[in-house]
Structure 1
C-alpha cells in the first residue's frame, strides 16, 4: 500500500483534519490525523493493519503492545493478524504502566504499535516498560509517522504513512499568534509524546 493509497483512506473517512490542534506531544499543528475515524471501517482497519502485520510476520513477534488510547485498536488488529498476544499500556497518574493484569515475560519478542508518531514520546515510554520486564523490543510500528522517518525509535521500525507534517512548539505557533482557537482531540490534553 502506497502513501497516497493510505492518505486516500484518511481523506475519504474524514480522518485528516485541518485547523489548529494541540497534539498529544504538546506541540501545535494545522493538521491532525484522527486514526480512530479511519480505523472505524473494518475494510480500512484490516488493510492498514495487514500491511503492518506483513512487515513483521517473519520477525518472531510473540506479543504486541500499544499505548492507550490511540494505539489500542491498531495494536489489537495487528496482534490478531499475527496471531499473538496483544496488550496495552496506559497512564496512571501520568506514568505509562502495564496494568489490568497484563504481564510480559522476559522471553517475549515485543512489537510496539502506535497509531501516530510525532515525537515518539509515548512509544519510548512503552518501550521502557517492555525493557523493564526484561523482554526484547523487536520493533516499532505506526500507522502514521508525522516526522517522515526523522524520529528513529528502533532498528526495525515501520510506518504505513510517512509524511513530514509541520508542528510548532506552543510558544512559536503562528496559529496561536493569530488568535485561532485550538482543539486538543488526542487522548491526552496535556501531554509529552
Structure 2
C-alpha cells in the first residue's frame, strides 16, 4: 500500500500544492495553498484516493467494530473523495460497501429543500469527509448538518491536514480525525 501512498503524494505535490502568499477560505494568510480537487478530479488521482481512502476507512471500521452506512461532506471539496472511496468500497468489498452523499452550503431553496443530497437518511452512521482542514470550520459545518438531519458522525476522513488547529477543533467535538497526509508528511517538514 505504500506504493499507492507514495504515488498519491507525488500527484498531490505536482497538481495540488503551491507555495507563495495566499488568502485561505478562513481569511487567514498562508505560505501554502493546497487545492486537492485538482488531484481528486484527476482520473489517476481519483483511483489512488479511492484505494488509500477505502483502506484507511475499512481499517478503522474493522479495528473499532463500526458500522458505517455512508460517506460524504461539504460540496465541492469532499465530493470526489467521497465518491472515489464509495466506489472503491463497492468494487473491493460489495458486502461492506458504503453509500455516498454530499452537503450543500445551504438547504436547497426549492423542491424538498434538502441540504444533504444523495444516499443519506436519518439514523445513518457516517464518515464525514473534507479535502483540506485548516481551522476545521467547513468540516464542523458538515458535522452540524449531518447531526441536524439525524445522522451520527463516527469519524472524519481528511485528505490533507494543514496542521493549523483544525484537527483539534473537530476532535473537541468528539469526532476523531483520520488524515491521509499532513503538511509535515507532504512537505517533509
TM-score (normalised: structure 1): 0.71
Rate the CA distance shift 1:69–1:21 in 2: closer, same or farther, 3 A. same
Q: Deviations over 1:93-152 (max 9, x none)?
A: 9xxx95375574332111101110111101101101111122210110011000177623
Instruction: In structure 2, list runs of 5 or more residues that go unmatched.
Output: 90-96, 108-112
Find the aligned partners of 1:150 and 1:116 in 2 and give their Cα distance: 9
Match of residue 151 from structure 1: 167
User: Do the aligned partners of 2:127 and 2:155 also contact (CA within 8 Å) in 1?
Assistant: yes
User: Do the aligned partners of 2:163 and 2:182 also contact (CA within 8 Å) in 1?
Assistant: yes
Q: Deviations over 1:42-97 (max 9, x none)?
A: 2222112321211222332111121111111111111222332211112239xxx9
Match of residue 108 from structure 1: 124
Match of residue 100 from structure 2: 86
Find the aligned partners of 2:33 and 2:180 in 1 and give their Cα distance: 16
Greater relative CO (CA pairs within 8 A, separation 6+):
1
Q: How many corresponding residue pairs?
A: 161
Instruction: In structure 1, list runs of 5 or more residues that go unmatched.
Output: 166-193
User: Do the aligned partners of 2:73 and 2:101 also contact (CA within 8 Å) in 1?
Assistant: yes
Q: Offset of 1:8 from its aligned partner?
A: 2.0
TM-score (normalised: structure 2): 0.73
Asked if 1:77 is matched to 2:97, the reply is: no
User: Do the aligned partners of 1:18 and 1:32 also contact (CA within 8 Å) in 2?
Assistant: yes
Q: Offset of 1:7 from its aligned partner?
A: 3.4
Q: Which structure dedicates a bigger proportion of its chain to helix? A: 2
Find the aligned partners of 1:101 and 1:158 in 2 and give their Cα distance: 24
RMSD in angstroms over aligned alpha carbons? 2.8
Rate the CA distance shift 1:4–1:28 in 2: closer, same or farther, 3 A. farther
User: Do the aligned partners of 1:88 and 1:98 also contact (CA within 8 Å) in 2?
Assistant: no
Rate the CA distance shift 1:147–1:74 in 2: closer, same or farther, 3 A. same
